[in-house]
Amino acid sequence: MAFLSGLSAFPITPTDSDGVVDVLALRKLIARLCAAKVDSIGLLGSTGTYMYLSRAERRRAICEALDETRGRVPLVVGVGALRTDEAVHYASDAKALGAAAGLLAAVSYTPLTDDEVFEHFSTVARESGLPIVIYDNPGNTHFRFTPALIERLGQLPGILSIKNSADRGDAIKGQLAHQKKIVPKGFSIGYSGDWNATEALIAGADTWYSVLGGILPDPCLRMVRAAQHGDYTEAHRIDATLAPVWELFKTFSSLRVVYAIAELLEICSAEPPRPIKPLSAAAKCQLAGVLDRLGSGVGS
């Protein structure tokens, strides 16, 4: 599917302390992404704290986001759950409401085998009818998709893309080349891990699944377009300007940092769901200095 290319921007899902979605704040975030003309919006990803939300609140978030986009930007929705039947429900909800695709991770408490993950994914794709993006997120799930498992899943109807974790920039080129050999033609290969996104795009990745893109879409989109047009010098230049943000991501986690960015830029005021704590006052002051230095490069 063509929309699984370019910049997929992942916003936070603002809620109150009881986990009820702040509709006005969410719509404001979505409106910014539509105005920036990102290629897709990744709603209810890890940055969107989907695992902390009830089914009703996930549905509320999807409804409001789709209403705000008015068809202008495709919505990729996180549908992960511990239980396969719950993931089927979440994926079916997303399809019924109008999402373009679902993002599915191998979420677990008990460690899973490759066969268990294969069955989980095949069941969700088959029973929901929602196109599925494989979410390889070993940092959070402690499960890593092997090349053999990716090849098996890539042959299934309804599984059309993978979101890789770009935790090692020096490994991206080789991994990407190998994945292209084992997945069907047209299967989209993308990466998260914002600080390695430039190298992934230059190596030929289709999509950047971006945390920062969900709150500061403009510089991220410029970086993507530069890479797509073969202007690697410009892509590296923009990446270098964002390096202080990448360091904050690594130090404090991207989730905590983007919540603080939303507050500092007066986009919305929300805290991550507990037990996750927001940035400390000292860290927030450090972030404010970084944003000030970025200045007009931040965009709208």
Contact between residue 200 and residue 176 where contact means Cβ atoms under 8 Å apart = yes
Residue type, 115: D
Of 163, 209, 259, 284, catalytic: 163
Contact between residue 136 and residue 164 where contact means Cβ atoms under 8 Å apart = yes
Q: Specify the DSSP class assigned to residue 21.
A: B
How far, in Å, CA of 35 to CA of 220, rounded?
14
- Is 47 annotated as a binding-site member? yes
- 185 as an active site residue: the answer is no
How far, in Å, CA of 252 to CA of 143, rounded?
23
Q: What is the helix (H) or strand (E) element at residue 8, kind and residue range?
A: strand 6-9
- 209 as an active site residue: the answer is no
How far, in Å, CA of 257 to CA of 278, rounded?
8
How far, in Å, CA of 178 to CA of 19, rounded?
41
SS3 content of the chain, % helix, strand, coil (to 5): 55, 15, 35
Among 107, 89, 98, which Cα is nearest to 41's?
A: 98
Q: What is the helix (H) or strand (E) element at residue 163, kind and residue range?
A: strand 159-165
Return the residue matching tokens 């899902």. 13
Of 50, 90, 135, 191, catalytic: 135
Q: Report residue 109 as tokens.
A: 């408490």
Binding residue positions = 47
Binding residue positions for pyruvate = 47
Active site residue ranges: 135, 163
